[in-house]
Amino acid sequence: MKSLWSETARELSPYVPGEQPRIADLVKLNTNENPYGPSPRALDAMRAASVDSLRLYPDPKAADLRDALATHHNVKPEQVFVGNGSDEVLAHAFVALLKHPKPLLIPDITYSFYPVWAQLFGVETETIPLDDNMQIQIDDYRHDAGSIIIPNPNAPTGIALPRSEIVRLLDAQPNIPVLIDEAYIDFGGESTVPAIANHPNLLVVHTMSKARGLAGLRVGYALGDENLIDALTRVKDSFNSYPLGSVAQAGAAESVRDEAYFKDYCSRIVTGREAMTRELTALGFEVLPSSANFVFARHPDRKGKELAAGLRERAILVRHFDKPRTTEYLRITVGTEDDTQRLIAAAADILNSD
């Protein structure tokens, strides 16, 4: 019956997201969600938008949300593109900007959805290995190419590049689109957004699922020169005119306006990450230097797979990527203090067992 499928559908290798089990008393450190709730003002705005006017289509241009984001990031509303999670924004960017006759440069260890979009949309890729310290080296991205995508901080390593390194890349590659995926930038990284003014080939993508604590709402966005935003809008308007519902637009806009909550929230995660790193290190883990809301860590005495399984038996979910260079590591989300205590206790228990 696969004869009814298109060739594309037959050949795909879909992305596999982290599990979303709804198990009571589970310590869920596998999908980099925020352990605290979103801004209460955002929730109020969503409830206020859950009214009869939902009978109307939402604003296809999401003007209010884009205004709020433009103000927050000090850019023009015309430099903002919004979508149904940063995954949709990235998917449109693959079609609109990253697909060229020459290949897209992509790190070998990175967000595992990138190669899936490349396959879906027929984007040729060239994989660039991280160095031996699991770091991105900008000099490896200076040769002839069609486009570049780099997450900063990278996932799942959590390691960030300083803005000066990204700018050095932009200066070396001024004629091709360079996409910097800043999903995790708000936990201590240095955003490249200020470079948009002088680099018309730079697109920066953000999500509201991490630092904004709104993974359940599905809102992401891109910032860049108006010309790049126009290309994204053309693809969006050829795919789905109304990707963001009215409730999502209202909640996201109010979240962006609640600057105080956001800053407090991010600083709590940074504090939690530092504590988690200290305690894991004390147990003998090697923890990569993270600027994200997760750490990437391995232990010299135990296999990654074994550690992940042991934690799971103790009702603690972490993410394990079973690929050659990552198989010894666990990606562990920074949760609450209590989450971290339970994680550390469980890890100690595993390390003390035979």
Quick one: which of 129, 143, 239, 281 contacts a copy of itself (CB under 8 A)? 239
Does position 95 interact with a copy of itself (CB under 8 A)? The reply is yes
Read off the tokens for 26. 């589970």
Quick one: which of 23, 24, 25, 52 contacts a copy of itself (CB under 8 A)? 52
Quick one: which of 37, 129, 162, 284 contacts a copy of itself (CB under 8 A)? 37
Coil vs helix vs strand at 249: helix
Read off the tokens for 273. 């990450």
Give dist(CA 124, CA 272) in Å, integer: 39
* CB 39, min distance to a copy of itself, A: 10
Residue 69's identity, in one-letter code, is L
Decide: residue 343, CB within 10 A, 0-12 exposed, 13-18 middle, 19+ buried. buried
Instruction: Tell me the per-residue interface mask from 315 to 344 with a copy of itself, x by CB under 8 A, - otherwise.
Output: ------------------------------
Containing 136, the helix (H) or strand (E) segment is none
CB nearer a copy of itself, residue 96 or residue 287: 96
Residues 245-274 that bind a copy of itself (CB under 8 A): 245-248, 251
Quick one: which of 78, 112, 137, 242 contacts a copy of itself (CB under 8 A)? 242
Quick one: which of 88, 181, 190, 279 contacts a copy of itself (CB under 8 A)? 88
Does position 58 interact with a copy of itself (CB under 8 A)? The reply is yes
Does position 310 interact with a copy of itself (CB under 8 A)? The reply is no
Q: Are 86 and 114 in contact (CB under 8 A)?
A: no
Does position 69 interact with a copy of itself (CB under 8 A)? The reply is no
Quick one: which of 36, 135, 167, 312 contacts a copy of itself (CB under 8 A)? 36
Decide: residue 310, CB within 10 A, 0-12 exposed, 13-18 middle, 19+ buried. middle
Read off the tokens for 112. 């595992």
DSSP character at residue 133? T
Read off the tokens for 40. 């209460």
Only one of the segments 125-133, 240-248, 300-308, 318-326 lies at the binding site for a copy of itself (rule: CB under 8 A); that segment is 240-248
DSSP character at residue 98? I
CB nearer a copy of itself, residue 5 or residue 198: 5
* CB 283, min distance to a copy of itself, A: 27
Q: 346 to each of 175, 269, 315, 327, 340, how far by Cα in Å?
A: 50, 21, 9, 20, 10
* CB 328, min distance to a copy of itself, A: 26
CB nearer a copy of itself, residue 55 or residue 352: 55
Read off the tokens for 63. 């003007």
Q: Are 185 and 158 in contact (CB under 8 A)?
A: no
Residues 116-175 that bind a copy of itself (CB under 8 A): 116-117, 119-120, 175
Does position 71 interact with a copy of itself (CB under 8 A)? The reply is no
Positive or negative: CA dihedral 191, 192, 198, 203: negative
Only one of the segments 29-37, 124-132, 184-192, 326-334 lies at the binding site for a copy of itself (rule: CB under 8 A); that segment is 29-37
DSSP character at residue 344? H
Residues 171-230 that bind a copy of itself (CB under 8 A): 175-177, 200-201, 209, 213-218, 225, 227-228
Does position 17 interact with a copy of itself (CB under 8 A)? The reply is yes
- Count of residues engaged in binding a copy of itself, rule: CB under 8 A: 86
Give dist(CA 28, CA 22) in Å, integer: 10
Quick one: which of 138, 160, 196, 231 contacts a copy of itself (CB under 8 A)? 231
Alpha carbon 105 to its chain's center: 18
